Structure 1
Amino acid sequence: MTTIIASPTRYIQGDNALAEIRRHVEPLGKKLLILASASGKARVENLVAESLAGSACSAHYELFNGECSRQEIQRIRAVYEQTGCDLVVGVGGGKIHDTAKAVAYYVHCPVVIVPTVASTDAPCSALSVIYSESGVFEEYLFLPTNPDVVLVDTGIVSRAPARLLIAGMGDALSTYFEARACARSCATNCVGGKPTLAAQGLARLCYDTLLADGVQAALAVREQACTRALENIIETNTYLSGVGFESGGLAGAHAIHNGFTALPETHALYHGEKVAFGTLTQLVLENADKAELATVLDFCRTVGLPTTLADLGVTDTSRDRLMRVAELACAPNDTLGNMPFPVTPASVCAAIVGADALGRARAGR
């Protein structure tokens, strides 16, 4: 049995860390293609310009169209080739990161990831999640290497909307439970090996840190206060969850998230918000310990993560619609097969209904 753990070459986190971007990118490339949203560009442009001033480095900004699709990857690839850049930098959230990583893979150049939010565990992984232009999950693009640098400026992240950090906690919440399921089934992780002890330990630390610091971090980010608890949760959402999911493995929660992309009304929610409900559904599917399930439900309710279908915006809960979700979640190219027991669309549909019922009961609805 071969075990594999994967991680970015370098992970840097701290207040005002972006002011030192030149030191970290200069060994990799001199002409940066920076992929960002309009708001992301506005948040980082001055800091990047000050850091690159007086050096041989220059930056070309390209605005992201909003979806990590095959079409967008090809568009950015063409921009890279036309501008003569030699380094891709993804500034923003998860879909920008995944697009930047995919472009760098296709043009054979280094990639630097600069999260402006801690809303997903995408920054550290050698993986891009590909969606259709309309936002429906299509496939995972597994990449041969992790990002060269992940640079997290916690001052910038702490000034992002609180909902984004909380969504990141929803994504991170799945890490331990999916890694645990993969360990029980001896499943292969996202990098083609069995989980190492280190990966399983990081996944557990991810969950423990969420329970220890998640509520305090959610309160702090609402006040834009970069406390120690918030720093810990930024690292949890970004690094512990990123290395933990990739090297620990994916199972039910993310597959169920992918299934929910079949319902257009869920597209308004963030990835981690849907993953949180996917985690609850996985635990119901497993018939998890009552105390554990109560702990997860209470954590989600306290920080503001969805625990019911209504929280996901799903008001039409007819069984044929939920079965569409379950069938997509059980697709052969997804990860529900990593659960340590046979799973069918019918059992997933039942677990979705059960998770919703538990969430409503816990909320007194």
Structure 2
Amino acid sequence: MDKIIIAPGKYIQGAGVLARISDYVKNFGGKPVAIADDFVTGLVGGSVSSSFSANNCKLVFETFNGECSRQEIERLQGVCQSAGADVLLGIGGGKVLDTAKAVAYYCKLPVVVVPTIASTDAPTSALSVIYTPEGEFSEYLLLPKNPDMVMVDTQIVANAPSRLLVSGMGDALSTWFEARANVAASRNATMAGGAPTLAAQTLARLCYETLRTDGLKAKLAVENGVCTQAVENIIEANTLLSGLGFESSGIAGAHAIHNGLTRLEETHSMQHGEKVAFGTLTQLVLENAPLPEIQEVIDFCRSVGLPTCLADLGVTDVTREKLMPVAEAASAEGETIHNLPFEVTAEAVLAALLTADKLGSR
């Protein structure tokens, strides 16, 4: 199998870069449409619009309705066509970014991704996670290329609630463990379309090392609204290292378990990365990883405030009957949990969920 690594066309990170966004976007087109929710539009809309006005370019803002669903993607396709857009911007969190990537793909437009939080590794990937309008996982949309540009204003990210940065750490936490599992399996292509490269594996490991080194320091800095070097490092880990690491090294159990957990209504208020963090712990149990390694992950999660048990995800009624639908969804045919280097059944996932819950509750 050929080794393949993929990445966005350009990655820009720094404090205050959003004020210069039009200087970069003008290389892609002169009729931009931006997708953002009402909150993000109020937060950065003035600065972004001013940047385009300074370059004599009119920007159209369109409100994102909150879910990366097929219905929302189709609605926004119509908006872009009506506006005659030649470049699309997605500004905000993971779901609006995934929506922008999908809309740009169907409209055949270049896409510029502007995360205002570092809560997932969605910004850099050639992937959109599609949900139902009710918020349940539906499917992965694999895109033919990564975003043309990713721009991260680290001061804006630092001003966001610390829970969002921590959630990004939960998503990034899975990167190395899922990458490692894919290399051990060495039979399935990654989302890049081939075998993992040494570069992608190294980025995945660096992601985990950066979380352990700077995670707590970054959380404390963001709680005070400041952007330190630790914050810069964690934003890069959450966004770039995790994004390239998962996409070109592969995903496995943690994200499949996240998908299963979306079947529980209690978890719908939890962040993606919070569910992935518990999914990582469950994957390690499923793999029968050494107890010191499992404890290391639990200790990290506790240090930054990530869930280590089902109660932390709002699930207090922990029974086999309640968790079996989660296990069945996580181990459904075609799920990424089958990238693990052994056969996985719903019964095995259920056992791992119950055991991980007890380990994380101790």
Same structural fold, with TM-score higher than 0.5 when normalized by the shorter chain: yes
**What amino acid does structure 2 have at the position aligned with 1:204?**
R
Kindly report which structure 2 residues correspond to 1:153-172, keeping only aligned pairs within 5 A, or say none.
Answer: 153-172=153-172
8 Å CA contact retained: 1:139, 1:333 = no
Partner SS for 1:58: coil
Deviation at 1:227, TM superposition (A): 0.3
Deviation at 1:316, TM superposition (A): 1.7
Deviation at 1:54, TM superposition (A): 3.5
**CA separation in 1, counterparts of 2:359 and 2:27?**
52
**CA separation in 2, counterparts of 1:36 and 1:49?**
13
Deviation at 1:105, TM superposition (A): 0.2
Deviation at 1:92, TM superposition (A): 0.4
Give the equivalent residue in structure 2 for 1:127: 127
**CA separation in 2, counterparts of 1:284 and 1:302?**
20
Give the equivalent residue in structure 2 for 1:251: 252
Deviation at 1:169, TM superposition (A): 0.1
Give the equivalent residue in structure 2 for 1:270: 271
**CA separation in 2, counterparts of 1:314 and 1:183?**
33
Deviation at 1:88, TM superposition (A): 0.9
Give the equivalent residue in structure 1 for 2:334: 333
Give the equivalent residue in structure 1 for 2:2: 2
**CA separation in 2, counterparts of 1:30 and 1:334?**
41
**CA separation in 1, counterparts of 2:189 and 2:322?**
31
**CA separation in 1, counterparts of 2:333 and 2:20?**
44
Partner SS for 1:138: strand
Give the equivalent residue in structure 1 for 2:32: 32
Give the equivalent residue in structure 2 for 1:14: 14
Deviation at 1:55, TM superposition (A): 2.2
Deviation at 1:50, TM superposition (A): 2.2
Deviation at 1:43, TM superposition (A): 1.4
**CA separation in 2, counterparts of 1:345 and 1:334?**
12
Deviation at 1:33, TM superposition (A): 1.1
**CA separation in 1, counterparts of 2:64 and 2:44?**
15
**CA separation in 2, counterparts of 1:10 and 1:165?**
22
Deviation at 1:49, TM superposition (A): 2.1
Deviation at 1:240, TM superposition (A): 0.2
**What amino acid does structure 2 have at the position aligned with 1:277?**
F
Give the equivalent residue in structure 1 for 2:322: 321
**CA separation in 1, counterparts of 2:30 and 2:56?**
6
**CA separation in 2, counterparts of 1:64 and 1:54?**
25
**What amino acid does structure 1 have at the position aligned with 2:25?**
V
Deviation at 1:53, TM superposition (A): 2.0
8 Å CA contact retained: 1:122, 1:238 = yes
Deviation at 1:45, TM superposition (A): 1.3
What does the per-residue CA deviation read over 1:155-182, in whole Å, with 9 as the maximum and x for residues that have no partner?
Answer: 1000000000000000000000000000
**CA separation in 1, counterparts of 2:333 and 2:7?**
27
**What amino acid does structure 2 have at the position aligned with 1:81?**
Q
**CA separation in 2, counterparts of 1:52 and 1:37?**
19
Q: Which runs of 5+ in 1 are unaligned?
A: none
**CA separation in 2, counterparts of 1:273 and 1:327?**
20
**CA separation in 2, counterparts of 1:290 and 1:133?**
40
8 Å CA contact retained: 1:87, 1:111 = yes
Partner SS for 1:262: coil
Partner SS for 2:90: strand
Deviation at 1:151, TM superposition (A): 0.2
Is 69-78 or 38-47 further displaced after alignment?
Answer: 38-47
Q: CA RMSD in A?
A: 0.8
Give the equivalent residue in structure 2 for 1:205: 206
Deviation at 1:133, TM superposition (A): 0.6
8 Å CA contact retained: 1:199, 1:244 = yes
**CA separation in 2, counterparts of 1:351 and 1:276?**
14
What does the per-residue CA deviation read over 1:45-91, in whole Å, with 9 as the maximum and x for residues that have no partner?
Answer: 12112211242422111111111000010011111111111111000
| 1:260 has 2:261 as partner | yes
What does the per-residue CA deviation read over 1:276-314, in whole Å, with 9 as the maximum and x for residues that have no partner?
Answer: 000000000011111111110000011000001000101
Partner SS for 1:199: helix
**CA separation in 1, counterparts of 2:135 and 2:3?**
34
**CA separation in 1, counterparts of 2:87 and 2:218?**
34
8 Å CA contact retained: 1:126, 1:147 = yes
Partner SS for 1:23: helix
| 1:283 has 2:300 as partner | no
Give the equivalent residue in structure 1 for 2:71: 71
Give the equivalent residue in structure 2 for 1:96: 96
8 Å CA contact retained: 1:309, 1:315 = yes
**CA separation in 1, counterparts of 2:217 and 2:200?**
26
Between the aligned residues of both structures, percent identity stands at 59
Deviation at 1:31, TM superposition (A): 1.3
Give the equivalent residue in structure 1 for 2:60: 60
Deviation at 1:193, TM superposition (A): 0.5
Give the equivalent residue in structure 2 for 1:178: 178
**CA separation in 2, counterparts of 1:114 and 1:298?**
32
Deviation at 1:19, TM superposition (A): 1.2
Is 79-88 or 161-170 further displaced after alignment?
Answer: 79-88
Give the equivalent residue in structure 1 for 2:224: 223
**CA separation in 2, counterparts of 1:96 and 1:326?**
28
**CA separation in 2, counterparts of 1:29 and 1:302?**
45
| 1:196 has 2:197 as partner | yes
Partner SS for 2:174: helix
